[in-house]
Chain A
Amino acid sequence: MTPAPRPLSPHLSIYKPQLTSVLSISHRMTGLALSVGTVLLVWWLVAAASGERAFAAAQGFWGSWIGLLLLFGWTFSLFFHLCNGIRHLLWDAGWGFELRQTYISGWTVVAASGALTLVAYIAGLVAWTPK
């Protein structure tokens, strides 16, 4: 006997994406991306402690196009997760639950993480002294 089809609650795909939901899932995805980034940070630290050859290999990876692409992704992920994380801490403190405030804080997070990424890259280009 096949069970009678039961009504299902509306699933994710039925909803129109909104700023609130997009930022929420982005917080998770940037968190996961940063977790992978942490693995490579530890690799870089261990390489620096190990010796010239290991360090050169790690630096070679970061300098490659895939390394630079990942670095750019992680820079944005870091700043986004930081800004949206502060938004979460404010919610935890009981602030900002009104719909209007939620949208204001959401767009602030988008603008701030974009601006911080831009500032980081401008500062990086200015500070860059190839040796």
Chain B
Amino acid sequence: MRTPLGRAIGLGSAKEGVQHWWVQRLTALALVPLVLWFAASLIAHLGADRGAVLTWLGSPVPAIIMVLLLIAGLYHMALGVQVVIEDYIHTEWVKLAALVLDRFAAFVLAVAGIFAVLRIAVGG
């Protein structure tokens, strides 16, 4: 039985409702075509020198898809690693530190990766 108040403010023991679960699925769905594109692109550029890589990521469509891959991938990664931390680390302060590090790492990697792609694509 669920009271109307519980429905409104409950959001379960994690205090976030289905947000985590839902975004994990949204990013998973987005990653299916993105990852296939990524694998195919890498195979096509095996043995390529820097000039060829810059030409590839310098074109608008590959640059846009690479940025989308970084956003979806790193978001998906942050959520997945978070669950693993919550499941296996039981010392409170270690868990907290690991959760902070997980989110920080995802943001730093996303900013670094997106900046690199943008620099190649528009910075020259």
Mark A residues whose CB is within 8 Å of B: 28, 31-32, 34-35, 38-39, 41-42, 45-46, 48-50, 52, 55-56, 75, 78-79, 82, 85-86, 88-89, 92, 120, 123-124, 127-131
Would A129 and B35 count as touching, CB distance under 8 A?
no
CB nearest neighbor in B for A92: B25
The B70-117 residues at the A interface (CB cut-off 8 A) are 70, 73-74, 77, 80-81, 84, 105, 109, 112-113, 115-117
List 6 additional contacts besides A45-B57, A45-B120, A82-B36; criterion CB under 8 Å. Answer: A31-B80, A32-B84, A46-B113, A48-B54, A49-B117, A79-B39
Interface of B is mostly: helix
Would A130 and B47 count as touching, CB distance under 8 A?
yes
Size of the chain B interface, CB-CB below 8 angstroms: 37
Chain B residues with Cβ under 8 A from A41's Cβ? Answer: 113
Q: Is B53 an interface residue (CB 8 A)?
A: yes
Bound Cα distance A88, B76 (Å): 14
Cross-interface CB contact of B116 among A34, A39, A48, cutoff 8 Å: A48
Would A131 and B25 count as touching, CB distance under 8 A?
no
Q: Is B61 an interface residue (CB 8 A)?
A: no
Q: A38-B74, A48-B116 are in contact. Are A128 and B32 (CB under 8 A)?
A: no
Cross-interface CB contact of A42 among B29, B57, B113, cutoff 8 Å: B113
Q: Is B20 an interface residue (CB 8 A)?
A: no
Chain A residues with Cβ under 8 A from B48's Cβ? Answer: 131
A-B contacts at CB below 8 angstroms, number: 86
Bound Cα distance A48, B120 (Å): 8
Bound Cα distance A82, B29 (Å): 10
Bound Cα distance A26, B114 (Å): 29
Minimum Cβ distance to chain A for residue B109 (Å): 5
Top 6 closest A-B pairs, CB basis? A49-B116, A45-B116, A42-B113, A49-B119, A55-B50, A46-B116
Q: Is B8 an interface residue (CB 8 A)?
A: no
Bound Cα distance A64, B52 (Å): 21
Bound Cα distance A98, B92 (Å): 38
Cross-interface CB contact of A123 among B43, B49, B113, cutoff 8 Å: B43
Would A28 and B46 count as touching, CB distance under 8 A?
no
